[in-house]
Structure 1
């Protein structure tokens, strides 16, 4: 691959591991991949993964995708996702991560907003025909010129990539020059104007991964089990990027089958679990995790960071937990739990690696804004992607530099007892449902489309932040209408029949 003299890209990190340990295991599929996608699970060494990545990168270049063009990716948590991302980076492309639950309406908006030139999908995921969704969304996006996918029974017009991955020939003479300062990733944030595309460079991504990696104290060569759908900055930084930083093995879990997860941890001898914090706490309280003798670290992601302070104690079972506070696509920070298992206070100011880690660089900074909200700044935070819309209008406004931080919108205050920052409430008007964020106004708009007596609302939920609930004169017809509109299952299933269990 062609390299430069700046900070490494993610593909260059992969190349460094490849040079040291080509035959070590790199990527491991979920054991139930055959059920999820119809494809058998795979285990790849770094050398095998490198050949697949080069073949895919060569294919993207031969397809006429110029450097710095956007390639949209909607894939499950399988080896194909990691291979496609590394191949896109090697070809100089920008990956737009599309959440797995997105359907045609959201896909079409995202493709048009980013000007994507290509889309990569899986044939089927959990019985849903994602290849067909990708084809229909691409037909409504004028910029799309290349539609391809993994899996069998792909629709006519979709280029199969499984044959490309297994190809032994890869022309490396036309690969793009690696530059860590160029955009590498686009993720999507709910904003007042709809989906906000948030770009990040390789440097931004590596900074986010380092903030978690150093705080959690993961060892080099870690075997990481990721139980997240990596369709966001946080999901990617805590799994894909941490894998490259540790130089170990990334085992993937299709969320969430606790029995399957424990079997994976034991079979692969995983020392690290990356999962939603609520799931990890529930499993720890049930004394499930203590049976995994190899497990030493749990990285728990909180999409509802205002709930961390009131969460249960982490059991003293020889496993350390790190709470990772997520603030949409703006940024994150990790705080390792205290020795008694309680959440450690979040102190204002710079956050660095723990004292026992021989690294002194600042991972970022937590601030309390004049509005009483929490702000983030640092090398992972894409300040330019979040325009300031409420600056006062005065004749000297042009002379005032814009803020060098992103206001997350989360209400916060200084706790007098600890001196730390207490996060008290999420941003108004934005609802978190599991790993997805909606505008409250959007829910009302979709409900109005269903008729005069329709209602769609978000109810508080301890595990996922909110859950959607809907009511109309004919719930079955409402589900059909929302599906026809191309909305995701979270909205559709809000109108399920409550008289039927589950």
Structure 2
């Protein structure tokens, strides 16, 4: 009797591509990497990447990180991010992704909540010394035993991965390649507060499949990813889509439009994955004439309530797929197939990939909840992570378990078209780009600055919200918030505007 085959992991997908085409180009760094991290850009084949992944995996094992322990990662959109995540999976570790906008206070909370045993960062990213931030956060997290980084001028006590990545080592350990095993922890903010969201490999792969099949990414595609990778959507849209297509992943650290255009032209990229607002701006600037190799554009919406009122897509040679993101809960995509380039109608029920083919695979299901909000269910949706708290033990009425996640996005059904209209983001949760936080947090930080200080979130068409602050002394307010280890968006809310044009 034959043993059942275990479901694939991301490392399994990588090794399949490696066996099929070891000398094919796999990973390409941003052109401006020297400016971003101080290191020259790299280009790696699958065979070269495999050797580096094995070296990094050996380093993690030799450092004493046990199987199934958590390693936190805070890296820019460069080759090192892809190598580190795949090396962690090969070593049997779970990756916790930390957004680049996070500073010491959020890092410390995330490390403690996940009991992370290690952290990987970069010496500098865009001039910010992330290695010092990581060291300070690790000092407040008792579970951390290993701190390492890429780049030069690392602080004392931080192991250099630039040395480890080229060191030949035969150290390995047996890891069961099973897609049901935990792979990722990302972090969300809901009305209930800060929430770690664990996911298995299958959830990551399901997210990548949903995007790649809906947008019809071809096998062997050259995919340029210009979306920050430190989230579920970031990993699914870059690593998962790349490994499923078996092509080349070209990385772009957001954003430099000249470098982006140059990368697309030089690498003859046929697929672009980027924030939807950037994709629509490129369309306005005559994307078809300037980047003729593009055939697929995947636009990721962190503000899904804005899709319905967005501009029409005009580029004829490239199709646009809108991907609706709901924090870390899940996503779904819809390709624009109307002649005028308007967004596709989103209807409740199962959504396949692609939707227009009968019997196509089911990527998930969209539903309206009794609260008038949008709910998601499916293989990528971590229902348990968003389950409501259990009722008190003395309660006589036990609520039945839910098999879906309530995204808290207000939605209604259009009686004419039968489509779901997403009307508003979750109440009490603010978003500035990919940074989500509670509205009450703004009031708390403003109180810490003393009398006369004001910190508020204003609606913004592109990013959802933007922060604005006022204090008796803006410079002192900025210094105080920096010392508290707060996000730079909060710090810069108190910038002086008197010299603004």
| TM-score normalised over the length of structure 2 | 0.96
Q: Which residue of structure 1 aligns with residue 204 of structure 2?
A: 205
Distance in 1, matches of 2:485 and 2:467, equals: 17
C-alpha spacing 1:153/1:315, structure 2 compared with 1 (3 Å): same
| 1:168 Cα offset (Å) | 2.8
C-alpha spacing 1:125/1:471, structure 2 compared with 1 (3 Å): same
C-alpha spacing 1:90/1:467, structure 2 compared with 1 (3 Å): same
Task: Please say if residues 456 and 470 of structure 1, whose CA atoms lie closer than 8 Å, have aligned partners that are also in contact.
Answer: yes
Distance in 1, matches of 2:289 and 2:392, equals: 54
Distance in 2, matches of 1:264 and 1:425, equals: 36
C-alpha spacing 1:152/1:254, structure 2 compared with 1 (3 Å): same
Q: Which residue of structure 2 aligns with residue 328 of structure 1?
A: 327
**Structure 1 residue ranges, 4+ long, deviating more than 4 angstroms after superposition:** 355-359, 389-396
Correspondence list, 1:54-69, <5 A: 54-69=54-69
C-alpha spacing 1:394/1:360, structure 2 compared with 1 (3 Å): farther
Task: Please say if residues 338 and 344 of structure 2, whose CA atoms lie closer than 8 Å, have aligned partners that are also in contact.
Answer: no
| 1:309 Cα offset (Å) | 0.4
| 1:393 Cα offset (Å) | 10
* 353-362 or 94-103: bigger deviation: 353-362
Task: Please say if residues 90 and 175 of structure 1, whose CA atoms lie closer than 8 Å, have aligned partners that are also in contact.
Answer: no
Distance in 1, matches of 2:175 and 2:331, equals: 30
Q: Which residue of structure 1 aligns with residue 473 of structure 2?
A: 474
Q: Which residue of structure 1 aligns with residue 45 of structure 2?
A: 45
| 1:284 Cα offset (Å) | 0.6
Q: Which residue of structure 1 aligns with residue 155 of structure 2?
A: 155
- Provide the secondary structure at the position in 1 that maps to 2:482: helix
| 1:171 Cα offset (Å) | 2.7
Distance in 2, matches of 1:334 and 1:471, equals: 40
| 1:283 Cα offset (Å) | 1.5
C-alpha spacing 1:195/1:291, structure 2 compared with 1 (3 Å): same
Q: Which residue of structure 2 aligns with residue 402 of structure 1?
A: 401
| 1:381 Cα offset (Å) | 0.3
Deviations 1:221-240 (A, max 9, x none): 11111111111111111111
C-alpha spacing 1:493/1:359, structure 2 compared with 1 (3 Å): farther
* 430-439 or 388-397: bigger deviation: 388-397
* 139-148 or 353-362: bigger deviation: 353-362
Task: Please say if residues 284 and 290 of structure 1, whose CA atoms lie closer than 8 Å, have aligned partners that are also in contact.
Answer: no
Could you tell me which runs of 5 or more consecutive residues in structure 1 were left unpaired when the two chains were aligned.
none
- Provide the secondary structure at the position in 1 that maps to 2:493: helix
Q: Which residue of structure 2 aligns with residue 500 of structure 1?
A: 499
Task: Please say if residues 104 and 486 of structure 1, whose CA atoms lie closer than 8 Å, have aligned partners that are also in contact.
Answer: yes
Q: Which residue of structure 2 aligns with residue 230 of structure 1?
A: 229
Could you tell me which runs of 5 or more consecutive residues in structure 2 were left unpaired when the two chains were aligned.
none
| 1:500 Cα offset (Å) | 3.0
| 1:359 Cα offset (Å) | 7.0
Deviations 1:249-299 (A, max 9, x none): 110001111111000000011001111101111121121453111101100
Distance in 2, matches of 1:355 and 1:387, equals: 29
- Provide the secondary structure at the position in 1 that maps to 2:106: helix
Task: Please say if residues 191 and 429 of structure 2, whose CA atoms lie closer than 8 Å, have aligned partners that are also in contact.
Answer: no
Task: Please say if residues 283 and 289 of structure 1, whose CA atoms lie closer than 8 Å, have aligned partners that are also in contact.
Answer: no
Q: Which residue of structure 2 aligns with residue 126 of structure 1?
A: 126
Correspondence list, 1:381-396, <5 A: 381-389=381-389
C-alpha spacing 1:136/1:394, structure 2 compared with 1 (3 Å): closer
Distance in 1, matches of 2:358 and 2:10, equals: 22
Task: Please say if residues 6 and 177 of structure 2, whose CA atoms lie closer than 8 Å, have aligned partners that are also in contact.
Answer: no
C-alpha spacing 1:335/1:392, structure 2 compared with 1 (3 Å): farther
| 1:175 Cα offset (Å) | 3.9
Correspondence list, 1:20-99, <5 A: 20-99=20-99
* Number of residue pairs matched by the alignment: 498
Task: Please say if residues 214 and 355 of structure 2, whose CA atoms lie closer than 8 Å, have aligned partners that are also in contact.
Answer: no
Task: Please say if residues 57 and 175 of structure 1, whose CA atoms lie closer than 8 Å, have aligned partners that are also in contact.
Answer: no
Task: Please say if residues 189 and 429 of structure 2, whose CA atoms lie closer than 8 Å, have aligned partners that are also in contact.
Answer: yes
- The two structures, once aligned, show a CA RMSD in angstroms of 1.8
| TM-score normalised over the length of structure 1 | 0.96
Distance in 2, matches of 1:479 and 1:496, equals: 8
Task: Please say if residues 61 and 171 of structure 2, whose CA atoms lie closer than 8 Å, have aligned partners that are also in contact.
Answer: no
Q: Which residue of structure 1 aligns with residue 179 of structure 2?
A: 180
Deviations 1:434-467 (A, max 9, x none): 1111110011110110011111111111111111
| 1:101 Cα offset (Å) | 1.2
- Provide the secondary structure at the position in 2 that maps to 1:381: coil
Distance in 1, matches of 2:236 and 2:120, equals: 21
Distance in 2, matches of 1:69 and 1:389, equals: 26
Task: Please say if residues 58 and 175 of structure 1, whose CA atoms lie closer than 8 Å, have aligned partners that are also in contact.
Answer: no
Distance in 1, matches of 2:472 and 2:478, equals: 12
Task: Please say if residues 363 and 378 of structure 2, whose CA atoms lie closer than 8 Å, have aligned partners that are also in contact.
Answer: yes
